[in-house]
Structure 1
């Protein structure tokens, strides 16, 4: 059983205040960083930060990356406590893979518009309408949805997962319609039904945004996350010869970092949440990474502030739990994905 945490004293805790958009009052200075490290050591806690987090949160974390990859890393550590700086479904995934550890999210209000776009009740109804279909769910879903899923996928392995399934079985793909369209295009399967969900941030990175940026930087490479509303526009630009096809890369956030290590050109246009730019610029500082839409910022991700992280560590609050029956079923859907052999370390 996971331990219940007792509060720890911290000289900075009195400065933490609750505002309309989250916890504030503490700056990410050296005093804060030292206190975060002290509290984490006292709790035997590992701090995980998703690539879309604030730069100062990414920098203080023990590990930064994609949510599923982080959850798998944390499961292999000897930490008693996982502090997941991300959104709620990510902390749930960490709990599913580490049921014996205490999992904390620094602000339990940090939700996800994509995960919220399908509920377990809606999926159950959809399954009832298509009883012979197999359910493929993106990892950006709640634990309740994963528990009703045959096999999970990430954006990096979604195509391989669907290809691994029997060709004569109908697929119910959820919840992201843009990733689903990408999978349908790449697999050529016409028996895929796609849920009409979306991440509001990625959906807002539009075709016109991409066209305008490519006109400004005609020789740039494009890193396009499959969740983006501009994904089809990128394919169109390549097909029309307006952008060299070799410059268009459909990538998960983890794959973007891998691609950046080998990047040769001077400018790369990045279509995903702008928090990703911090890791890309650290990975390849000589490359000019430019956002396709500089307003593509997730307010939920940015709720994990320096004050929220300090508060979570000191007070041990906002614990995330998943009922055992749900966690066991959800874990099976993740394990089936990993068994395919293309485990895909995240969104």
Structure 2
């Protein structure tokens, strides 16, 4: 398996005044009603988009719950604010609905790092393996899999599949796959991918910050490097991290994931203090640069234009959609507690 190169967007978001934000929100509200549409947004998107989604009867969550909401939502049109694989998942699960995105250029390093031709060849090299892929993959990769999982159910799905006593392939995030192997005792064959945001968290910087905030609990997303995970009090999905911040007695939390999550955390636990885990290396211009550049491409401006003009519609080849439907249905139907696990 060779290293896969891709370009990362240098996106500069336009800073709006409160009055401009209100004007955009008002126009989008009217369009949502006119088009019988709902916004389904990820925790990593802009604060204003998250607010608007919830104010208009839409939804904000992680990729698993976004998929579940999209499938049960009565709206004729879903506007998925996130990255492309989320829009594809919505279309696969709800083919009768029109699925729009603010931009189709918002993708994911995990998706880009797992092209279907190379992944299919990788699977062929490991016959008789159960193929488990992370939700952060293309529709074509999902169609090549047996199971699709998100970080909120990955551990429990692998524990469930271990009872079948079959070897397993995991793709694409090697850090999450390694974490699952360590936690479950599984010996999955791992694809060599990573998230460009979570890969940048630094154990040394995190240790230094823990000395500054000795009473803070450390919450880490499992796409982070093992040396960072090792320092965590809780390792979990975005939803599990949010739950931990609400339910744990600590007043301070160091958080190692995309800083877009801080909006929801502060709304749900306004009396608590949330501190960004460090990513900065030598010569860095910010202490924590933890924000997905593709998530940052979602904005009120392009959300409005997509809804107004019907542009950026997500389309999935029907043969691929049918093949991807089975592993995705397994994902949305898998029953899990959703609880976070405190490390000891």
Query: How far apart are 1:186 and its partner, in Å?
Result: 0.7
User: 2:310 maps to what in 1?
Assistant: 316
Q: 1:25-36 counterparts in 2 under 5 A?
A: 28-36=20-28
User: 1:45 maps to what in 2?
Assistant: 37
Kindly report the root-mean-square deviation, in angstroms, between the aligned alpha carbons of the 2 structures: 2.1
Matched, 1:149 2:145: yes
Measure, in 1, the Cα distance between the counterparts of 2:48 and 2:332.
32
Measure, in 1, the Cα distance between the counterparts of 2:27 and 2:332.
37
Q: 1:1-347 counterparts in 2 under 5 A?
A: 21=11, 28-61=20-53, 62-165=58-161, 166=163, 168-190=165-187, 192-229=188-225, 231-235=226-230, 237=231, 248-293=233-278, 294-342=288-336
Q: Is the 8 A contact 2:222 2:229 kept in 1?
A: no
Query: How far apart are 1:128 and its partner, in Å?
Result: 1.0
Structure 1: gaps of 5 or more residues: 1-18, 238-246
SS at match of 1:173: strand
SS at match of 2:60: strand
Q: Runs (4+) of structure 1 moved beyond 6 Å?
A: none
Query: How far apart are 1:332 and its partner, in Å?
Result: 0.3
| C-alpha distance 97-278 of structure 1, shift in aligned 2 (>3 A) | same
Q: Is the 8 A contact 1:275 1:297 kept in 2?
A: yes
Measure, in 2, the Cα distance between the counterparts of 1:96 and 1:200.
26
Query: How far apart are 1:174 and its partner, in Å?
Result: 0.4
Q: RCO greater where, 1 or 2, for CA within 8 Å and sep 6 or more?
A: 1
Measure, in 1, the Cα distance between the counterparts of 2:248 and 2:266.
12
Measure, in 2, the Cα distance between the counterparts of 1:152 and 1:342.
14
Q: Is the 8 A contact 2:201 2:228 kept in 1?
A: no
Q: Is the 8 A contact 1:71 1:93 kept in 2?
A: yes
CA deviation profile, 1:94-137 (whole Å, cap 9, x unmatched): 11111000001101111111111111111210111111111110
Q: Is the 8 A contact 1:106 1:309 kept in 2?
A: yes
Query: How far apart are 1:344 and its partner, in Å?
Result: 6.1
CA deviation profile, 1:6-62 (whole Å, cap 9, x unmatched): xxxxxxxxxxxxx98478597652211111100111000001110000111111112
- The two structures have a TM-score, normalised by structure 2, of 0.87
Structure 2: gaps of 5 or more residues: 1-8, 279-287, 340-344
Query: How far apart are 1:339 and its partner, in Å?
Result: 4.6
Q: Is the 8 A contact 2:131 2:146 kept in 1?
A: yes
Matched positions, count: 315
